[in-house]
């Protein structure tokens, strides 16, 4: 039905227009530049109240953040790379809207003063983290929602992510600079819960995924290399002081190296065909960074980072082989891009590791760094054990919020007006839907290792 296609196109255009106008109005009312003042004064009032203070060398601070903004988008590359060419247009739409919305929502939570939101480079960094989490969530439902639903998912996902992050970092004051918990775990389980709610039986019998071939692999290569280049610096920029050895950079590199080797250990054992697809190596890379999100800036030690990375690298192959089929058939949760294996479980592992290291933290081992990683422990208002308990408590809080939020979001997306009518889902109105659809199916094909040799 061509009219239907037209209607769906115009609905997307209209929603984009409305959201943009709405955002512009909110920006006009609330958002101002962060005041032009000495860094010291700025930090007293606003942003630095919820972040670790920078002792000693404060002046190159804004340079750091400046770089961070630059690198933040580097990480988006990695995600875009994962989803293939078809879904990139939608991904960029999500990024463009999520950044604006995250600046608003996080501004209300963190940077609100005298009725105004004061945005600076730090706002953009927070918005980047938030956008990354939403992109992870979309990985679970890619191919089964239309762009209008995607935008609503982004709207709600950004809001819920920000609330969860505020509870964890602002109220519970846990340490999670690289987002094992806030970004990876939240993003994965939120997306999975939305996917569960959106489950419709007949959708599973869709046509066989087409072979997206080398095109997808090009993106995997570019994405993998971007992760290697940018992520260690990205996670470090919030935490590294100028004159300290960058533990988090070293830890992340070691973790990446070990997780890659782990993939080469496990894949030949698990699968018959003796070739590796780049996307599997990218999975290992993502798992390797997810596990270092929380523990990276702690005293994980070089060999500890290798071990953690190795374990994290084992998760995706095992998960795709044994867990994803169960998830799909028993729990009726389709996971298009396998975010559970790549972000969810490694994020959980990273959280447990961070908790363990929190419990072991002593002023002797950390030195001046303790002030940065665990400010409350350094000030004496918490013992290391208490801090570790809080870190552990953050896990069920995140899972609860992700699940409840996912249910709510799924229910909204399931509303009648938004769903693409099932009967027309085949040939006519699928062009824009296809765009999102061809993304991750190549991953789905890995669930059945019997599908013959992937050339």
273 binds a second copy (CB under 8 A): yes
Give the closest residue to 358 by CA, choosing from 331, 401, 389.
Answer: 389
429 binds a second copy (CB under 8 A): yes
Q: Supply the minimum distance, in Å, between the C-beta of residue 401 and a second copy.
A: 26
Q: How far apart are CA 103 and CA 96, in angstroms?
A: 11
User: Any residues with CB less than 8 A from the CB of 104 and at least 6 apart, and which?
Assistant: 23, 26, 27, 30, 31, 117
Q: How far apart are CA 277 and CA 317, in angstroms?
A: 12
Binders of a second copy among 92-111, rule CB under 8 A?
Answer: 92-93, 95-97, 99-100, 103
Q: Supply the minimum distance, in Å, between the C-beta of residue 331 and a second copy.
A: 30
Comparing CB distances to a second copy, the nearer of 335 and 437 is 437
Q: Name 33's bridge partners.
A: 119
Binders of a second copy among 59-78, rule CB under 8 A?
Answer: 59-60, 62-63, 66, 69-71, 73-74, 76-77
Comparing CB distances to a second copy, the nearer of 114 and 453 is 453
Comparing CB distances to a second copy, the nearer of 181 and 372 is 372
Comparing CB distances to a second copy, the nearer of 70 and 397 is 70
Binders of a second copy among 126-165, rule CB under 8 A?
Answer: none
Comparing CB distances to a second copy, the nearer of 264 and 322 is 264
The count of other CB atoms within 10 Å of the CB of residue 335 is 30
Instruction: Report how many residues bind a second copy under the rule CB under 8 A.
Output: 113
Among 1, 17, 379, 415, binds a second copy (CB under 8 A): 17
Among 200, 303, 385, 415, binds a second copy (CB under 8 A): 303
Among 253, 320, 374, 390, binds a second copy (CB under 8 A): 253
**Which pairing describes strands 116-119 and 112-113: parallel, antiparallel, or unpaired?**
antiparallel
Q: How far apart are CA 270 and CA 283, in angstroms?
A: 15
Give the closest residue to 157 by CA, choosing from 177, 141, 172, 173.
Answer: 141
Binders of a second copy among 361-380, rule CB under 8 A?
Answer: 367-369
Among 161, 247, 374, 390, binds a second copy (CB under 8 A): 247
Binders of a second copy among 283-302, rule CB under 8 A?
Answer: 299, 301-302
Among 1, 13, 400, 404, binds a second copy (CB under 8 A): 13
278 binds a second copy (CB under 8 A): yes
Binders of a second copy among 159-218, rule CB under 8 A?
Answer: 214-215, 217-218
Among 121, 135, 141, 348, binds a second copy (CB under 8 A): 121
Q: Would you state the structure tokens that stand for residue 257, as one six-digit string?
A: 């190296």
Q: Would you state the structure tokens that stand for residue 375, as one six-digit string?
A: 């400010």
**Residue environment code for 110-139, b if the CB has 16+ CB neighbours within 10 A, otherwise e:** bbeeeeebbbbbbbbbbbbbbbbbbbbbbb
Among 1, 22, 24, 379, binds a second copy (CB under 8 A): 24
User: φ, ψ for residue 307 (rounded to 5)?
Assistant: -65, -45
User: Any residues with CB less than 8 A from the CB of 369 and at least 6 apart, and which?
Assistant: 241, 244, 247
228 binds a second copy (CB under 8 A): yes
Element (H, E) at 393: helix 384-413
Q: How far apart are CA 140 and CA 339, in angstroms?
A: 6
Sheet-wide strand order for 116-119? 31-33, 116-119, 112-113
Binders of a second copy among 312-351, rule CB under 8 A?
Answer: none
Q: Supply the minimum distance, in Å, between the C-beta of residue 344 and a second copy.
A: 23
19 binds a second copy (CB under 8 A): yes
Q: How far apart are CA 226 and CA 238, in angstroms?
A: 19
């Amino acid at each position: 039905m061509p009219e239907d296609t037209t209607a769906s196109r115009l609905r997307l255009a209209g929603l984009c227009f409305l959201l943009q106008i709405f955002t512009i109005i909110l920006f006009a009312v609330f958002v101002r530049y962060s005041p032009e003042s000495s860094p010291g004064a700025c930090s007293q009032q606003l942003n630095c109240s919820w972040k670790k203070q920078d002792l000693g060398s404060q002046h190159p601070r804004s340079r750091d953040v400046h770089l961070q903004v630059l690198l933040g988008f580097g990480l988006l590359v990695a995600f875009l790379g994962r989803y293939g060419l078809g879904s990139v247009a939608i991904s960029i739409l999500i990024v463009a809207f999520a950044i604006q919305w995250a600046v608003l929502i996080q501004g209300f939570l963190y940077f609100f003063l005298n009725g105004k939101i004061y945005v600076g480079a730090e706002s953009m960094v927070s918005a980047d983290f938030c956008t990354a989490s939403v992109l992870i969530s979309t990985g679970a439902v890619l191919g089964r929602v239309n762009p209008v639903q995607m935008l609503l998912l982004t709207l709600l996902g950004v809001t819920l992510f920000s609330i969860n992050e505020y509870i964890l970092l602002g109220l519970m004051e846990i340490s999670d600079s690289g987002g094992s918990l806030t970004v990876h775990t939240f993003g994965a389980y939120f997306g999975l819960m939305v996917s569960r709610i959106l489950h419709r039986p007949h959708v599973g019998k869709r046509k066989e995924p087409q072979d997206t071939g080398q095109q997808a692999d090009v993106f995997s290569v570019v994405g993998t290399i971007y992760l290697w280049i940018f992520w260690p610096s990205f996670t470090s920029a919030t935490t590294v002081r100028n004159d300290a050895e960058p533990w988090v950079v070293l830890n992340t590199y070691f973790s990446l190296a070990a997780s890659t080797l782990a993939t080469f250990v496990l894949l030949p054992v698990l699968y018959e065909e003796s070739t590796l697809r780049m996307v599997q190596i990218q999975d290992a890379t993502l798992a390797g960074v997810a596990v270092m999100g929380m523990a990276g800036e702690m005293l994980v030690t070089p060999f500890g980072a290798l071990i953690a990375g190795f374990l994290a690298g084992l998760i995706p192959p095992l998960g795709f082989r044994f867990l994803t089929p169960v998830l799909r058939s028993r729990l009726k949760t389709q996971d298009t891009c396998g975010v559970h294996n790549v972000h969810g479980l490694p994020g959980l592992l990273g959280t447990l590791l961070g908790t363990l290291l929190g419990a072991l933290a002593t002023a002797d081992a950390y030195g001046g760094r303790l002030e940065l990683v665990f400010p409350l422990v350094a000030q004496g208002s918490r013992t290391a054990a208490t801090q570790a308990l809080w870190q552990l408590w953050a896990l069920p809080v995140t899972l609860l919020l992700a699940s409840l939020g996912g249910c709510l979001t799924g229910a909204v997306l399931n509303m009648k007006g938004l769903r693409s009518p099932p009967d027309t889902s085949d040939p006519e109105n699928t062009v824009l839907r296809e765009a999102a659809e061809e993304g991750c199916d190549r991953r789905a094909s890995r669930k059945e290792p019997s599908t013959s040799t992937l050339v």
